[in-house]
Amino acid sequence: AQTVTQSQPEMSVQEAETVTLSCTYDTSENNYYLFWYKQPPSRQMILVIRQEAYKQQNATENRFSVNFQKAAKSFSLKISDSQLGDTAMYFCAFIPFQGAQKLVFGQGTRLTINP
């Protein structure tokens, strides 16, 4: 089954700290695409970062970076210098194989940044 698991339902850190959100997935395919989406209280889904499975280099977008471990099927998100505006639900998702159409989402991690 092609599934995504986020084992941390909730996390809380102080502003300016670094936080890492974990994600594991299951697929037997070699080519697939991984994503992190942010959902603030407005419930808009915002793409944070993406990673192609064929790329060994970890993706980075400003304060956001990933640790992609293909053999372990792990795709964690690191947020550096966290800000109050980072408070949101974070969903890990993937498109499980080349040519697939749908995103498969994890259950989400509720992240709270405290002042």
Partner 1 sequence: EPEVTQTPSHQVTQMGQEVILRCVPISNHLYFYWYRQILGQKVEFLVSFYNNEISEKSEIFDDQFSVERPDGSNFTLKIRSTKLEDSAMYFCANSQNAPYEQYFGPGTRLTVT
33 binds partner 1 (CB under 8 A): yes
Contacts of 86 (CB under 8 A, 6+ apart): 38, 79, 111, 113
CA dist 94 and 98 (Å) reads 11
Residue 69 — φ and ψ, nearest 5°? -120, 95
Smallest distance, partner 1 to C-beta of residue 11, A: 17
**Could you tell me which stretch among 16-24, 58-66, 69-77, 90-98 binds partner 1 (CB under 8 A)?**
90-98
Near partner 1 by CB under 8 A: residue from 95, 109, 111, 113: 95
Contacting positions for partner 1 (CB under 8 A): 33, 37, 42-47, 50, 52, 91, 93, 95, 99-108
